[in-house]
Chains A and B, each alone.
Chain A
Amino acid sequence: MARAGRSGATVPARAGAAAGLRVKPGYVLVASLPALLLLVGVFAFPIVQSIQLSFSDWRGFGPIDIIGLDNYAEVLTSGEFWGSLRLTVVFTVLATTGIVLCALLLAVAVTRNQRGDGVFRAIWFLPAIVPGTAAAVFWSISVQPQTGLVNEILGLLGLGNGHAWLAQPATALYVVVGVAVWISTAFPFLLLAGAIDRVPPEIYEAARIDGAGQWRQFWSFTLPLIRAVLTMVIALQLIWNFNAFTLVYGMTKGGPAGSTTILPVLLYQEGFKNGDFGTAAAMGVLSSLILVAVGLVTLRRSAAKAAGE
């Protein structure tokens, strides 16, 4: 790091943002050094280390012996990985779709200049505040047959109170998706409501004079005008849901019968339950590659759209 410091200081000093407030690049480097060190320690170094570990047979202790591509061969030829990837994609797509649609609907509901909208906004953001495991544990207890709150309510409505959705491989994933929607709608909701707030009111007035109904106004004016924020929201949700360890692990630990073992859960089990850290690291590298690819494609798309507008 000392080397970097010296070479940074040799950069010729330029004028600061404002005349008379010149700041030497060396000074900036010294002031940012703690942040830089921490960022390198927490992001850059672990990424390199992750790749190294993925080529090793490290079992949680002792030296790291490189064994080449064996872990990747093992992961890529195992049905477990591909099954889990399929589950992850299904979960990500369903959760993202549900979350974005709900967030849009809620955002429209509180941006119609009605009294009390501020209060609704404040309350609807609450699920974003709760620790994920607390929500996961609450909902998993609530969908238990007979004794759970959700089943009790369904029983009162005459729909039966014996549903063991979380215990059945065919339905467990959908319960988790539902809870993901409950937890994760709040954040994009607030972002989208903010974006709709920034749409100039004259546009709606003009639309009303032309006789455009609510649906028409939303489809032809609101939606195109918030597209930049919407694309960002979708990209973030895809990435976050692909990574949804906390909720899934908190509700099902990956069960029943592996029916909710999405990749982050599989990685955790492989590393921290089976002690196969090399294989787990390889899974981490592969998931990250997929995520970065998804992120880049979505971002490029949004950039292209922004350029086209």
Chain B
Amino acid sequence: MNRLSAAGWLAFKLVTTVIVVFPFIFILLLSFRSMTDIYRNPLGLTGNWVPQNFVDAWNGPPGGTGFGHYFLNSVVVVIVAVVLAAVIGALAAYFVSLLPARWRSRVLMIPLIATIVPTVALLIPFFQVFSAWGMLNNPVAVGVLYAGLSLPMTILILHAFFLDFPTELREAAALDGLGHLFTFVRVVIPLSRPSLLAVSLLNLIWVWGETQIAIVLLQKATSQTIPVGVLTFQSAFMSNLGPIFAGLSLATIPVLVVYFVFNRSISRGVSMGGTFR
């Protein structure tokens, strides 16, 4: 009976794994095949090997924009957002953690309330301000916006971590005559790298996939990030599935690599209370 149920669970796990993995495998496989082969036999491996799909995806349709642009924009947005959120968030989280408990809980209400604000309530004002300040189609400005949106979770997680930071280490630093800022930069930050990394990875994954805001603020094709580019691309290439799948590969592979390298850090971030925004 026990053995039977063990076999049942294993079968269930394998089926689940197939359902989870199947899209990844086919995105990759189909991105190397020609349109006619995909239409004729999507499950098979027959036909020509077409690496040209990736070249087409990178350059885009004739006269259009391709993943070369999208990729660069996404990298810019990710770097601005992740670095800014980590620096500003860590600074705030650390100094708030030094406050007396009564004050701390009050101050933390600010990021806590911010986490429940839905994007639909923010979208139109974002557009209005970006439009009025001439920042539409500007990936750097969108990166700053993403940093702000990632701040609440970043602060809450880092604050919880800094609270447990060993007091003796900070006292030793104080005895050495280091001021608060120096203690923070020289002692606290180097010892907090795993937590900073975990939070930053969650921010990275969220920013890499964010669509609802980007589709509104980055309307010019040359300014678009990968998730918006994927949609633009789908309508541009309509019937030519090869380059579309190559584009999906380019959208997915970078985060997959990050995930496989930092998988432990990412699960740690989730268990510390992290979400994707």
Q: Which residues of A contact B (CB under 8 A)?
A: 14-18, 20-21, 23, 25, 27-28, 31-32, 34-36, 38-39, 41-43, 45-47, 49-50, 53, 58, 60-61, 64, 106, 109-110, 112, 114, 120-135, 137-139, 141-142, 147-149, 152-153, 156, 182, 187, 190-191, 194, 214, 236, 239, 242-243, 245-246, 249-250, 263-264, 267-268, 271-272, 277, 280-281, 283-285, 287-288, 291-292, 295
Complexed CA–CA distance, A277 and B41 (Å): 46
Pairwise interchain contact A42-B145, C-beta atoms closer than 8 A: yes
Pairwise interchain contact B155-A35, C-beta atoms closer than 8 A: yes
A264 in contact with B212 given A14-B100, A21-B171, A60-B131 (CB within 8 Å): yes
Contacts of B209 in A (CB 8 A): 130-134, 246
B50 at the interface (CB under 8 A from A): no
- Which among A45, A182, A250 is the interface contact of B125 at CB below 8 angstroms? A45
Contacts of B149 in A (CB 8 A): 42
Please give me the 3 A-B residue pairs with the lowest Cβ-Cβ distance, nearest first. A42-B148, A35-B92, A131-B209
Pairwise interchain contact B92-A41, C-beta atoms closer than 8 A: no
In the assembled complex, the CB of A107 is this many whole angstroms from the nearest CB of chain B, namely 12
Contacts of B88 in A (CB 8 A): 34-35, 38
Pairwise interchain contact B128-A58, C-beta atoms closer than 8 A: yes
9 A-B residue pairs with CB within 8 Å: A32-B91, A35-B155, A46-B121, A122-B267, A124-B16, A137-B244, A187-B275, A190-B267, A287-B118
- Which among A41, A187, A284, A291 is the interface contact of B270 at CB below 8 angstroms? A187
Stretch from B57-65, B191-199, B227-235 at the A interface: B227-235
Interface 1/0 per residue, B96-134 and A, CB below 8 Å: 111111010001001100101111111111111101000
Interface size class of B (residues with CB under 8 A): 35 or more
- Which among A28, A131, A182, A263 is the interface contact of B120 at CB below 8 angstroms? A263
Complexed CA–CA distance, A85 and B116 (Å): 20
Complexed CA–CA distance, A15 and B248 (Å): 54
Most A-side CB within 10 Å, residue of B38, B100, B111, B209: B209
In the assembled complex, the CB of A61 is this many whole angstroms from the nearest CB of chain B, namely 7
Contacts of B38 in A (CB 8 A): 147
Pairwise interchain contact B255-A130, C-beta atoms closer than 8 A: yes
A126 in contact with B24 given A47-B117, A131-B252, A263-B120 (CB within 8 Å): yes
In the assembled complex, the CB of B104 is this many whole angstroms from the nearest CB of chain A, namely 8
Pairwise interchain contact B122-A46, C-beta atoms closer than 8 A: yes
- CB closest chain-B residue, reference A16: B98
Q: For chains A and B in complex, what number of residue pairs have CB atoms within 8 angstroms?
A: 271
In chain B, positions 2-48 with a C-beta closer than 8 Å to chain A are 5-6, 9-10, 12-13, 16-17, 19-21, 23-24, 26-27, 38-39, 41-43
Besides A50-B121, A272-B127, 5 new A-B residue pairs in contact (Cβ under 8 A), listed by A number: A123-B21, A130-B209, A134-B252, A148-B42, A288-B118
Q: Which residues of B contact A (CB under 8 A)?
A: 5-6, 9-10, 12-13, 16-17, 19-21, 23-24, 26-27, 38-39, 41-43, 88-89, 91-92, 94-101, 103, 107, 110-111, 114, 116-129, 131, 144-145, 147-149, 151-152, 155, 163, 167, 170-171, 174, 180-181, 205, 208-209, 211-212, 215-216, 226-228, 230-231, 234, 241, 244, 248, 251-252, 255-256, 259, 263, 266-267, 270-271, 275-276
In the assembled complex, the CB of B275 is this many whole angstroms from the nearest CB of chain A, namely 7
- CB closest chain-B residue, reference A242: B118
- Which among B129, B231, B248 is the interface contact of A49 at CB below 8 angstroms? B129
- Which among B117, B234, B256, B271 is the interface contact of A137 at CB below 8 angstroms? B234
Contacts of A285 in B (CB 8 A): 121
Contacts of B127 in A (CB 8 A): 60, 271-272, 277
Pairwise interchain contact A277-B227, C-beta atoms closer than 8 A: no
Contacts of B267 in A (CB 8 A): 121-122, 125, 190
Complexed CA–CA distance, A249 and B117 (Å): 21
Pairwise interchain contact B230-A131, C-beta atoms closer than 8 A: yes
In the assembled complex, the CB of B209 is this many whole angstroms from the nearest CB of chain A, namely 4
A245 in contact with B211 given A27-B95, A135-B23, A137-B248 (CB within 8 Å): yes
A50 in contact with B122 given A149-B26, A250-B211 (CB within 8 Å): yes
Complexed CA–CA distance, A92 and B152 (Å): 25
A191 in contact with B270 given A131-B230, A246-B212 (CB within 8 Å): yes
- CB closest chain-A residue, reference B27: A138
- CB closest chain-B residue, reference A291: B118
Pairwise interchain contact A109-B118, C-beta atoms closer than 8 A: no
Pairwise interchain contact A284-B123, C-beta atoms closer than 8 A: yes
In the assembled complex, the CB of B73 is this many whole angstroms from the nearest CB of chain A, namely 13
A284 in contact with B120 given A130-B252, A133-B228 (CB within 8 Å): yes
- Which among A15, A124, A133, A236 is the interface contact of B227 at CB below 8 angstroms? A133
In the assembled complex, the CB of B88 is this many whole angstroms from the nearest CB of chain A, namely 5
A267 in contact with B120 given A15-B100, A35-B155, A134-B252 (CB within 8 Å): yes
